[in-house]
Chain A
Amino acid sequence: MSEFVFATGQYESGDWDSAPLVPANLIDSLAKYTSLPVAPTGAIVALASDDLFRFPLVYLTGHLPVRFTEAERANVRRFADRGGMLFVDDHNHDIDGAFHKTAVEELGRAVGKLTQLANTHPLYSSFFKFPDGPPNTAHELNGWGDNLVHSHLLAAMRGDRIAVLYSNKDYSSEWGYHPDNKRFLSIDNTKFGVNVIVYALTR
């Protein structure tokens, strides 16, 4: 059985590499809580590349406007149709922000309209239990960005599977620290990241 490789998507517009510490942090959590073989380092994969299809879960983030090239759009569509899952997080935490507006528009064009994901979805119980839906981030509770606590994530579906999971909650900031610093947290805030990965690997 091959190792799970956490992949970050690289797109030509915007700042795709705005959260470089997130992969290491989630890899650390996955190794800590599960017995899954996981590659110690993540991978970076261009959305327009055929390599995209080697990584059925791809994490996408950024602050700046997102405009897919034709090749990126076609690849993302094919990726979703074949069963891949994009986890997209708005690093701005701002529903009027450039990333949110453009990313939602682009993803809608490439994969399909994003709709609210029910907080009872299996995503929230795939490993840890989140009975109230997506956990809130410190940035939401501090009133940064759009000053909103987003109660739901958005998703584009293929059948009953999530093809695109979209978050306004700025997990990219929430999880963007060195894994060693988890010891300073009373509750590990990356647990929901483990759920996202386990969901992608099992559903």
Chain B
Amino acid sequence: MPSPAERVRRVAELVLRATALAALAVLLWRALRPPTAAGVSVAAGDLTRALERWTLAGPAELRVVLDKAPDARTRDWIRALAHSGSQAQWAASRPIRGSAVIAEPASEPSGATRVRFAAAGGEPVSIGDAAGTIDTLSRGGAAELELASVAGSVRASGATFTAATAARDSIALKPLLVLGAAGWESKFTIAALEERGWRVAARVRVAPNVEVTQGPLGAIDTGRYSAVIALDSTAASSATAIARYAHDGGGVILAGASARIGGLSSIAPGDVGRRIAGVAGGVTSASPRTGLGVFPVTSLVSNGVALESRASTVTVAARRVTAGRVVQTGYDETWRWRMAGGDEAAAAHREWWSRLAAAVAYAPLVARVPAADEVIDETPLASLIDALGPPATMDTRVAPASDGTRTTRFLFLLAVGALLLEWASRRLRGAR
């Protein structure tokens, strides 16, 4: 007859065996049960495993707690789940900043890319591309960068977002047409534009019936020129064609007093005032254009916009004319800035003229196919709200995501441990 200790030992063995069998049964049940449709809460972090599980389970309700705007792939995945029958809600464990970034080709022959960025202030932002960081903003805000070249996508990253973009278009620029009398202003305007990479056609009048010409010359239309630059009264003979060209979408720059020409005054942003002499020595100052003489732009038309002023005098103005754009710059003899200005004067003169041309240039966009490594997610928070609606009010202090792996592991160890103990106990007391 077994002793009391022996009986306790046998009961313990039975309990261990029952425990092992129960654990195995639960494991078997977990493996064979159909996916449940329970609501799930997921904390911030990598949602990939949770998304995989939800994709299999098809839960009735998804709750996602985010600490930053998800990337486009995650966002689209959640939206797909929401569209397949699950109710999806999201909330943020900390404020996610709204942000936007866009890249577009600058209308300049350099092929530069202009990147504009904006983010709600408050957190540092790093702007860069595949080659590295380009610029940083210590407290968000807005920025505009002109990049000579871009490697892959441009990314603007803060603690709560990563906005990414790539130029979706390129532009087709045609030559500029410069019309003027032979003189230093014509020479140096053409030189400045050519040195910045523009193709320039020119008709430079030397005598009543003699013109020095260069480049492709023909009818003034948007199929031939991206912009026309009228430097002086010699453009009068082409005034009607220039006005028609502006209405058709072409860009026009009226320099000096050329806006007084009868046929061009109708497209000018304003009237031409009496010439004001430049400040002596101004071209070598920090504001070199103060050293230039200027015909003020007066009586701006209703859609005219002042681009540059000297005290209360408008010196450069722009307007739209039907489909085209016209800039009126009152400065004359800008060549003096290039020749007599400071060390950077020649480069600054080139850039100034090139920017004026780019501001009006007729430059139709040509769609380009993004490269495989170019990610585009220009407004991550706005896209999240567009995809899943505004954030829900819910408790964001949720437990970390669980996919049942720990439970499975625990049950397995429990079954093995119980069986081993039960087997060892029996063997030690001599049973089989």
Contact = CB atoms under 8 A, between A and B. Distances in A.
Interface string B230-269: 0010000000000000000000000010000000000000
A54 interface: yes
B182 interface: yes
B98 to A, nearest CB: 47
B182 A83 contact: no
B189 to A, nearest CB: 11
A1 interface: yes
A201 B338 contact: no
A203 B191 CA distance: 8
Given A56-B335, A127-B206, A36 B212 contact: no
26 contacts: A1-B181, A1-B183, A1-B185, A1-B256, A2-B184, A4-B183, A34-B206, A36-B181, A36-B206, A53-B339, A53-B340, A54-B336, A81-B346, A82-B346, A83-B339, A84-B339, A126-B212, A127-B206, A127-B212, A198-B182, A198-B206, A200-B187, A201-B183, A201-B206, A202-B212, A203-B214
B79 interface: no
B429 to A, nearest CB: 103
Contacts of A73: none
A198 B212 contact: yes
Interface of B: 181-188, 191, 194-195, 202, 204-208, 210, 212, 214, 232, 256, 332-333, 335-336, 338-340, 345-346
B182 A54 contact: no
A1 B232 contact: yes
Given A56-B188, A202-B206, A202-B212, 5 more contacts: A1-B185, A2-B184, A36-B207, A83-B188, A202-B202
A33 interface: yes
B346 to A, nearest CB: 5
A35 B208 contact: yes
B207 A34 contact: yes
A182 interface: no
Contacts of A53: 339-340
B184 A56 contact: yes
B182 A34 contact: yes
Interface string A38-64: 000000000000100110100000000
Nearest to A159: B195
A83 B207 contact: no
A82 B339 contact: yes
A53 B333 CA distance: 13
B187 A83 contact: yes
B154 to A, nearest CB: 33
A34 B210 contact: yes
A75 to B, nearest CB: 12
Nearest to A200: B187
A33 B206 CA distance: 9
Contact of A36 (B183, B187, B256, B345): B183
A201 B184 contact: yes
A191 interface: no
Contacts of B204: 201-202
A36 B339 contact: no
A96 B191 CA distance: 36
Contacts of B202: 202
B181 A83 contact: no
Contacts of A36: 181-183, 206-207
Contacts of A126: 212
A67 interface: no
Contact of B186 (A54, A79, A83, A202): A202
B339 A35 contact: no
A113 interface: no
Given A35-B205, A35-B208, A202-B204, A83 B191 contact: yes
Nearest to A197: B182
A127 B204 CA distance: 11
A130 B194 CA distance: 27
A137 B183 CA distance: 28
Interface string A1-23: 11010000000000000000000
A56 B182 CA distance: 13
B160 to A, nearest CB: 50
Interface string A186-203: 000000000000101111
A1 B204 CA distance: 14
Interface in A65-106: 79, 81-84
A161 interface: yes
Interface string A111-148: 00000000000000011000000000000000000000
A201 B333 CA distance: 13
What 5 A-B pairs have minimum CB-CB distances, sorted nearest first? A53-B340, A53-B339, A201-B182, A202-B212, A34-B207
B187 A54 contact: no
Contacts of A54: 336, 339-340
Contacts of A82: 338-339, 345-346
B272 to A, nearest CB: 14
A4 B183 CA distance: 7
A174 B182 CA distance: 26
Contacts of B181: 1, 35-36
A95 B296 CA distance: 54
Contacts of B210: 34, 127
Contacts of A198: 182, 206, 212
Contact of B183 (A2, A79, A81): A2
Contacts of B187: 56, 83, 200-203
B218 to A, nearest CB: 20
Contacts of A159: 194-195
